[in-house]
């Protein structure tokens, strides 16, 4: 039975009791599909330029009181 076929509560119970052992390959693929994890692992940010220069900080604008 796959995680998608399980009911949420059933899966939660299996995880809490330590009975659910996901496939490490599936876990890795799911993690790598998230941009934040890829950025964490590679040290590259999607908004950073690829020319090796650091992006300029955003301009600080005065606010009305």
* Global confidence as pTM: 0.40
Percent of the chain with pLDDT over 90: 14
Report pLDDT for 24.
Answer: 92
d(CA 63, CA 51): 33
3-state secondary structure at position 58: coil
Q: What is the mean pLDDT of residues 21-26?
A: 90
Measure the CA–CA gap between 43 and 37, rounded to whole angstroms. 10
What residues contact residue 49 under an 8 Å CB cut-off, 6+ apart? Answer: 55
Mean pLDDT of 5-26: 88
């Amino acid at each position: 039975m796959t995680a998608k076929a399980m009911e949420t509560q059933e899966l939660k119970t299996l995880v809490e009791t330590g009975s659910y052992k996901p496939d490490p390959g599936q876990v890795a693929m799911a993690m790598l599909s998230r941009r934040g994890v890829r950025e964490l692992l590679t040290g590259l940010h999607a908004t950073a330029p690829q020319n090796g220069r650091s992006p300029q900080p955003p301009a600080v604008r005065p606010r009305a009181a």
